[in-house]
Amino acid sequence: MSFVRFLQFVVAVTAGVGVFLFFTQKNTIPLNEHLTAQSIDTTLPKEIIPEKPKDIEPQLPLSNPPAIVKALYATGWSAGYEKRLSYLIDLIKRSELNAIVIDIKDYTGKISYDTDIEKVNRYGAEEARITFPNKLIKRLHDEGIYVIGRMAVFQDQQLVLHRPELAVLSSSTKAVWRDRKGLAWIDAGSREAWEYNTTIAKEALQRGFDEINFDYIRFPSDGNLSDMIFPLSSATSSKTSILKQFFSYLRAELPMAKTSADIFGLVLLQNNDQGIGQYLEDIIPYFDFIAPMVYPSHYASGSFGFANPAAHPYDVVYFSLEKGIQRIKKAKIQNPNITAQLRPWLQDFDLGADYTANMIRAQIDAFDVAASTTPELNGGWLLWSPSNVYTTDALHLE
């Protein structure tokens, strides 16, 4: 071999080795599929994955809860948004307020934070509006604020989406029945729905929520009611009987928990269930607090003799609560084991009338006067603003 051909051979070999090294170093996944994981680990740099931020440990309930709760309402979005949360905390600290109601699960069926509940995950029922719920509870407790978790029960769009067989159905179409707003409902006779909601409540209590507030614990009230089928409610059982069984189930499953029940304001006035299954005497034995929505705007024209009840907040709230107090007192005489107190929802929103600070304050004053006759029934009051912006002049500010 001549010297020139020898040099050409050396150059070719060197180039070939270089190309080989270039391709083997540029490929992040080895082409030889028989390489073991150990071989890959020793030849390739490991990707550094940052650890996902974690919530703090679950909290204990507030050590010194207020004797009389005075709370405002916050959606999961508001509770998870720092600017709005700071506003709400500041308002509570500067006023007579001492508690907050936060959505755990609203009408959408979405849980406001991540959980490890298997069915919640299976149904895609999480929406992390609150990134760190335990940390949120600690922050509120550190401020001395009592934390109530609100749960919409039988109005649950996410559960219906994944389990339509649990829903109220249409007799004409056999599809999921929907109310006037196009919302679906779970059949209140669904034992599986009872278990599902109770599991969520138990997990929330373990996180440190001081109380669970159950809303939409009823049958539908509007829409084409004659078209409804309840596939899981016994045809021989009344709506009141079915809900009473549910209330009893809740108390048995949550024996030590503080619980409250949201009911229609008219439930205090009527001696029937109005077709929705809510009968006051069936509810009282199973909850610590009864929370009627005595919003003056929600009473029909002619109620209490007023063409527009919304324009008469003091009278509407006072007469509603007076009737409710009488019925709870009577129930306690018949059953001394009843401990329920009255804690109404009051209106801080414009509907039926422009609600001024004086009109909002009139509702609070009406409750104070009504409750003064029976202080043992005074469980406080809850203030509802769907925007979560409150009329501060209606509250006693420092």
- The pLDDT value given to residue 118: 97
- The pLDDT value given to residue 9: 42
C-alpha torsion 96→101→102→108, nearest 10:
-140
Q: How many CB atoms lie within 10 A of CB 234?
A: 11
- The pLDDT value given to residue 13: 39
Q: What is the pLDDT of residues 42-89, one digit of tens each?
A: 333 445 555 668 999 999 999 999 999 999 999 999 999 999 999 999
- The pLDDT value given to residue 50: 56
Rg of the chain (C-alpha set): 29
Mark the ranges of the chain whose per-residue pLDDT is less than 50. 1-46
Name the token pair of 54.
Answer: 């974690």
- The pLDDT value given to residue 19: 35
The residue among 320, 372, 388, 394 whose CA lies nearest residue 68 is 372
Contact 183, 177 (CB under 8 A): no
Relative orientation angle of helices 133-142 and 82-93, to the nearest 10 degrees: 20
Distance of CA 101 to the CA centre of its chain: 9
Q: What is the pLDDT of residues 181-213, one digit of tens each?
A: 999 999 999 999 999 999 999 999 999 999 999
Name the token pair of 339.
Answer: 């401990």
Name the token pair of 337.
Answer: 């084991």
Domains of the chain in start order, with CATH, are 69-394 (3.20.20.80)
- The pLDDT value given to residue 102: 98
Percent of the chain, pLDDT > 70? 87
Contact 176, 168 (CB under 8 A): yes
Q: How many CB atoms lie within 10 A of CB 209?
A: 27
Contact 215, 108 (CB under 8 A): no
- The pLDDT value given to residue 234: 86
Q: Phi, psi at residue 293, to the nearest 5°? A: -90, 85
